Amino acid sequence: MRALTWQGKHDVRVETVPDPRIVNPRDAILKVTSTAICGSDLHLYDKVIPTLQAGDVLGHEFMGEVVEVGPANESLKVGDRVVVPFVIACGKCFFCDRQQFSACDNSNPADKADMSEKLYGYPMSGLFGYSHLTGGYAGGQAEYVRVPYSDVGPIRVPDGVDDDKVLFLSDILPTGWMAAENCEIETGDTVAVWGCGPVGLFAVQSAFLLGAERVIAVDHHPRRLDLAADFGAEVLNYEECDVHDAVKDMTGGIGPDACIDAVGLESHGMAIDNVYDHVKTTTMLATDRIHALRQVILACRKGGRVSIPGVYGGFADKFPIGALMEKGLTIRSGQTHVQKYLPKLLELVLEDKVDTTSMISHRMPLEEAAEGYRLFKEQQNECTKVVLKPH
């Protein structure tokens, strides 16, 4: 089959690789009909997440048609049309029992789990196409993909609904939703969202659906800010204003009740601390640049909530622990427990309560995936989301 493979920093290629097959009894094989490039794939493209190997198949946002099911899979059948969560979860462990699916204890293979146990104290779950830290599973930017524990994750979608409308149930819609849920929004709340990539845009929509009175969105790409404004946010371009002063002013000096960092570890920005981070990162003294997160923590009101859906992988320098403690902030974070949110979110999508398609700027065949990565990396204003069609 054809698949998008990682070869090295800024080098991804569509190549012919062996077809996947059923390995375990609860597996399924999917013929991929649509797959997207995620902002977090750019962390792999930029080689800031370690443990990738040349030839790894990327892609964790995908959907398709079931073409084969393992003997112990009692919930899927050939021909089912499903969207697959990017988090692989067994459905049977302590964490899955508590719907903390991204903490699944079993989906990261025993030999791969050593790395994240060493880094984080405990091994993390498996993810599709996202380095060997998270299992080394082949991803879905391919014609076919093996889905382990496929009786737990995939959700069936009705015929007659476009792929583009439901594809983002795989990651970015539930990620934006959980980011907003983690804000524990109360009546009258103002929520500020840093980063208007797809996750930030879904966080904006989710915050309103969960009862926010106002949403303030921060970015520097005019096109992305326009999209946020279309969803009802008041927008701030950080190249044109001092964000901290602006959000304070907009909230009558109190500050936002909740702040979302939808930027993550490759935070851009002009401030002096970011230049410092860049020097430290390139000299391997620290791994994560946290300019956005610092601003989030400083901007959040006293006693407020900070939600971090943005991806971080390692260590951060100059973390404002004083502001966190003295203001009594609550921080909630984590890879998304996708499986927990799917039924509710599918319902919202089918009822047209969430706009899932206007952020898609590019649709292209899988064969052009390398160009898709380049565009998404280099033209972030125009290129807001790339959807690939493998067949």
Partner 1 sequence: MATAEHSTPASDSDSEGTTTTTRAITVNRPLEELYAFWRDVGNLPKFMENIQSIEVLDERRSRWTVAAPGGTEVTWTSVIVEDEPDRLIAWRSEEGADIDNAGRIEFLAAPGGRGTQIRAEISYDPPSGAIGKLVAKLFQREPAIQTRRELRRFKQLMETGEISTAEPPDAAPRD
Question: Nearest distance from residue 15's CB to partner 1, in Å?
Answer: 8
Residue 296: closest CA among 323, 272, 315: 323
CA distance 210 to 355: 15
Binding test (CB under 8 A) with partner 1, winner from 11, 24, 67, 358: 24
- Angle made by CA atoms 169, 173, 178, in degrees to the nearest 5: 115
- Residue 324, sorted as left (phi over 0), alpha (psi -120 to 50) or beta, turns out to be alpha
Question: Nearest distance from residue 102's CB to partner 1, in Å?
Answer: 14
Question: Nearest distance from residue 90's CB to partner 1, in Å?
Answer: 4
Pairing mode, if any, of strands 305-308 and 258-261? parallel
In this complex, which beta carbon is closest to partner 1, that of residue 16 or of residue 358? 16
- DSSP-derived 3-state class of residue 231: coil
CA distance 10 to 47: 8
In this complex, which beta carbon is closest to partner 1, that of residue 22 or of residue 215? 22
Candidates 37-45, 109-117, 221-229, 237-245 — which segment interacts with partner 1 by CB under 8 A?
109-117
Candidates 117-125, 169-177, 296-304, 317-325 — which segment interacts with partner 1 by CB under 8 A?
117-125
Residue 69 in contact with partner 1, rule: CB under 8 A: no
CA distance 347 to 169: 11
Binding test (CB under 8 A) with partner 1, winner from 33, 51, 68, 93: 93
Candidates 23-31, 272-280, 328-336, 375-383 — which segment interacts with partner 1 by CB under 8 A?
23-31
Candidates 59-67, 116-124, 174-182, 195-203 — which segment interacts with partner 1 by CB under 8 A?
116-124
- Residue 253, sorted as left (phi over 0), alpha (psi -120 to 50) or beta, turns out to be left
Binding test (CB under 8 A) with partner 1, winner from 67, 72, 161, 285: 72
Residue 371: closest CA among 7, 9, 10: 10
Burial class of residue 34, CB neighbours in 10 A (0-12, 13-18, 19+): buried
Residue 108 in contact with partner 1, rule: CB under 8 A: yes
Binding test (CB under 8 A) with partner 1, winner from 41, 61, 80, 105: 105
Candidates 142-150, 154-162, 215-223, 376-384 — which segment interacts with partner 1 by CB under 8 A?
142-150
Question: Nearest distance from residue 167's CB to partner 1, in Å?
Answer: 22
Binding test (CB under 8 A) with partner 1, winner from 136, 197, 310, 372: 136
Binding test (CB under 8 A) with partner 1, winner from 38, 87, 90, 216: 90
**Contact between residue 150 and residue 69 where contact means Cβ atoms under 8 Å apart:** yes
**Contact between residue 276 and residue 318 where contact means Cβ atoms under 8 Å apart:** yes
Residue 294 in contact with partner 1, rule: CB under 8 A: no
